[in-house]
């Protein structure tokens, strides 16, 4: 018998996956982190978060390619009858493959799923990366636009409010690689999610090229900030053996380390607690006994893990 939902008096946040695209270990990578993950039988799934104001109805923040495994590992997300799901909506911060591919894994649904996305991302998911059109042959999705900088009340496909207000703020990134010729638009946002009853606030910025005014507006006063921890250094991929590998900044990610890295800037962003997510398999701070991990913790930040839970 599937468990009854745990009704919550505060907003619950679960890190379903803490890794960047490819996960840990990445299928074609033999770096130290990936080798250790294979030998130890441990690893990380790709970036996604679940949030709920009541513990019964859940909102996905990005839909990871590992979503099936993530849902199977969390009783809160199991069906509570012969068919159905407590997943009531999804919010896509961008149109990257590792943040949207999981939508295809929901095709067996019996009802439409409300999917919120910035206008530019919604266009990509209908054209260049046509998930909306593909899934229309199944239960389908109900696309809903996230306006820039305006708080909206999240609701399920039937229009029932979920108790969470969401504000999307454009952050410093560019369109996905597959859509370099796309028309100008908002292709990457950070989210500020607030429990409409208690005021508890989550700031979610899984990919960002800077800690700037936009990021600070998302993070200010939040009980928890989940922030881009993709790379430790700008030339990390090249040092790991990548041929003609782009830098972190060229890929739109602010490195964690260094004098101008996020580790130096985030403690002043205004959140009560900051956890790094979307961590690439090459990032040395993944090593629990590494000097980089010690630096992060000394700065008052945490390295996110799959399965971490928070109440706000």
Tokens of 226: 């989940």
Tell me the C-alpha distance between 37 and 24, whole Å.
Answer: 7
Residue 190 CB partners (closer than 8 Å, separation 6+):
93, 168, 169, 171, 203, 204, 205, 208, 214, 215, 218
- Can you give the pLDDT at residue 184? 78
CA distance 62 to 15: 11
Question: Cα(156)–Cα(159) distance, rounded to whole angstroms?
Answer: 5
Burial of 56 (C-beta count, 10 Å sphere; 0-12/13-18/19+): middle
For residue 7, what pLDDT is reported? 66
* pLDDT value for 206: 97
Question: Which CATH number applies to 12-306?
Answer: 3.60.15.10
What is the pLDDT, as a whole number, of residue 241? 77
- Nearest in space to 205 (alpha carbons), one of 147, 163, 252: 252
255 Cβ neighbours under 8 A, 6+ residues apart: 231, 232, 233, 234, 236, 248, 249, 261, 262
Q: What is the pLDDT of residue 9?
A: 80
CA angle 143, 145, 148 (to 5 degrees): 160
For strands 58-61 and 87-91, give the pairing.
parallel
* Per-residue pLDDT tens digits for 88-100: 999 999 999 999 9
CB 102, CB 154: distance < 8 Å: no
Segment 208-217, tens digit of pLDDT: 999 999 999 9
pLDDT tens digits, residue range 220-278? 999 999 999 999 999 999 988 766 889 999 999 999 999 999 999 999 999 999 999 99
Task: State yes or no: cis peptide before 123, omega within 30 of 0.
Answer: no
The pTM is what? Answer: 0.96
Which pLDDT belongs to residue 96? 96
Whether 279 contacts 229, CB under 8 Å: yes
Q: Where are the domains positioned within the chain? A: 12-306
Please list, in sequence order, all residues whose beta carbon lies within 8 angstroms of the beta carbon of residue 117, skipping any fewer than 6 positions away. Answer: 91, 92, 95, 125, 143, 144, 145, 146
Q: String of b and e for 208-247 (b: at least 16 CB within 10 Å)?
A: bbbbeebbbbbbeebbbbbbbbbbbbbebbeebeeeebee
pLDDT averaged over consecutive 10-residue blocks of the chain (312 residues)? 67 98 96 96 96 98 98 96 94 97 95 96 94 93 96 98 98 86 88 98 97 98 98 93 84 95 97 98 96 98 98 98
Q: Give me the pLDDT at residue 286, please.
A: 97
pLDDT of residue 68: 97
Report yes or no: 305 and 18 within 8 Å, Cβ to Cβ.
Answer: yes
Cα dihedral 89, 95, 99, 105 sign: positive
How many C-beta atoms lie closer than 10 Å to residue 301's C-beta? 22
Cα 223 from Cα 216, distance rounded (Å)? 13
**How many CB atoms are located within 10 Å of the residue 270 CB?**
17
């Amino acid at each position: 018998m599937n468990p009854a939902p745990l009704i919550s008096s505060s907003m619950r946040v679960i890190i379903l996956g803490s890794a960047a695209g490819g996960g840990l270990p990445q299928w074609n990578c033999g770096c130290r982190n990936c080798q250790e993950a294979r030998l130890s039988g441990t690893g990380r799934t790709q970036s996604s978060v679940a949030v709920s104001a009541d513990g019964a109805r859940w909102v996905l923040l990005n839909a990871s390619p590992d979503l099936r495994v993530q849902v199977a590992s969390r009783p809160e997300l199991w069906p509570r009858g012969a068919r159905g799901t407590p997943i009531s909506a999804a919010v896509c911060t961008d149109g990257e493959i590792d943040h949207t591919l999981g939508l295809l894994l929901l095709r067996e649904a019996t009802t439409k799923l409300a999917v919120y996305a910035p206008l530019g991302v919604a266009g990509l998911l209908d054209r260049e990366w046509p998930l909306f059109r593909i899934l229309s042959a199944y239960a389908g999705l109900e696309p809903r636009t996230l306006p820039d900088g305006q708080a909206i009340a999240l609701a399920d496909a039937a229009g029932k409010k979920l108790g969470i207000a969401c504000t999307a703020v454009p952050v410093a990134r560019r369109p996905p690689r597959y859509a370099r010729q796309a028309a100008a638009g908002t292709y990457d946002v950070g989210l500020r999610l607030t429990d409409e009853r208690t005021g508890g606030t989550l700031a979610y910025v899984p990919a960002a090229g800077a800690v700037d005014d936009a990021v600070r507006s998302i993070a200010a006063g939040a009980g928890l900030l989940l922030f881009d921890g993709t790379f430790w250094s700008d030339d990390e991929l090249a040092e790991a053996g990548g041929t003609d590998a782009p830098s972190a900044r060229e890929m739109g990610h602010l490195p964690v380390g260094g004098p101008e890295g996020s580790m130096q800037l985030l403690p002043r962003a205004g959140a009560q607690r900051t956890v790094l997510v979307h961590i690439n398999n090459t990032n040395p701070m993944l090593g629990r006994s590494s000097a980089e991990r010690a630096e992060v913790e000394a700065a008052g930040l945490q390295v996110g893990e799959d399965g971490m839970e928070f109440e706000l």
